[in-house]
Amino acid sequence: MIEEDGKGAIGGAVLGGLLAGPFGALFGAQLGGSMGANARVKRAANERIEAMGLNKETIQAAQDIAQELADAEESLELVRNAERSQRNLLDVIDSSMEAAYKAAETALRNGDEATARRQLEEKNMQKAKRAKVEAEVTAAAARVATMQASVASIAERANEIEQIIARTVTATKTRSSSGLSSDVNLALEAEDPLLKKFKDLEGK
């Protein structure tokens, strides 16, 4: 999640990387006026966002994509943990099978056929269990691959919005220093091809 107890904790590496750039400037202001903030802090955060020259559509798009990316990265971590757990279980089963086989060998050398038979039966039971766990590992790995592709797709869209933010903020600073009006600001921002593309996608 983007926010956690009002601290704006970031969990995923991809989103964390985005927040090091233009996203960070936007969300630094946005989170500064979030949960528990007083009116003065919220007003300062809103003024900072307004000074960036971003319109409501771009801000909303950035918020939505950041939340979507945070959720996807959280889901990716969950399926990765599940895969690791299944692989660890596979290692435990392999160790049990090896131990049972060695115990059977020892029992045979000592002339204890009954114990050797029990140990071999235990090994076969573990072998059957291993086949099931191995299938679960394969399924878990497929889920990880699917979530990785999802994160990559969302990250690509986030990068497009990041470019919009960067260009808009840069253009706003340039226009501010040259004295262009806010009307010109809005007109130039509306011509941004990436923003237009995003709006078209949102409208479908």
DSSP letter string over 90-143?
HHHHHHHHHHHHHHHHHHHHTT-HHHHHHHHHHHHHHHHHHHHHHHHHHHHHHH
Name which of 23-27, 69-73, 95-99, 157-161 the model is least confident about.
23-27
Residue at 105 is within a domain: no
Tell me the mean pLDDT in the region 10-22: 63
Q: What are phi and psi of 11, to 5 degrees?
A: -100, -45
Q: Does residue 41 have a pLDDT over 50?
A: yes
Residue at 47 is within a domain: yes
pLDDT at 69: 85
Number of Cβ atoms within 10 Å of the Cβ of 38: 9
SS3 call for 11 = coil
Residue at 55 is within a domain: yes
Residue at 88 is within a domain: yes
When comparing pLDDT for 87 and 8, which is higher?
A: 87
**Structural domain of 27:** 13-94+136-178
Which tokens hold the place of 108? 């045979």
For residue 65, the one-letter residue type is I
Residue at 109 is within a domain: no
pTM summary value: 0.64
pLDDT at 12: 65
pLDDT band at 103 (very low <50, low <70, confident <90, very high): very high
Q: Please count the structural domains in the chain.
A: 1
Q: Does residue 145 have a pLDDT over 80?
A: yes
Name the nearest CA neighbour of 153 among 73, 74, 80, 82: 73
Residue at 1 is within a domain: no
Q: Does residue 66 have a pLDDT over 50?
A: yes
Residue at 199 is within a domain: no
- What mean pLDDT value characterizes the chain? 76
